[in-house]
Amino acid sequence: MAGRTVRVQGFPAELPPDRAADKLTIHFLRSRNGGGDIANVRVLPGSLPCALITFEAPEVAQRILQVKNHVLAIGKTRYPLEVTPHAAELSPNEVLRG
């Protein structure tokens, strides 16, 4: 999944995870936002929730990262999103190498 996943922060913590996933999916599917086909959206709840969005193609993730201002509109409120690359998890073998 390396290169296809981005980390998104900035959406409201009070938004239920399933609704947050729906809103983020709609935003990042839109071509005007640089988006494209999504393989998976995983919302990690908490006081500062974040979402991991994996796209079908790495070039879509790269386009998303190049867009400077992602803004999620929910009703009349607009939330600026912080979108950063998500590093692939290391396998145990990679962690143990020194």
- Domain of 49, CATH number, reads 3.30.70.330
Residue 92 belongs to a domain: no
Give 37-92 pLDDT, tens digit per residue. Answer: 999 999 998 889 999 999 999 999 999 999 989 999 999 999 999 999 997 654 44
User: What is d(CA 10, CA 62) in angstroms, rounded to the nearest whole number?
Assistant: 19
Residue 98 belongs to a domain: no
Provide the domain count of the chain.
Answer: 1
Residue 76 belongs to a domain: yes
pLDDT at residue 85, as a whole number? 95
Residue 27 belongs to a domain: yes
Specify whether the CB–CB gap between 52 and 63 falls below 8 A: no
DSSP-assigned letter for residue 57: S
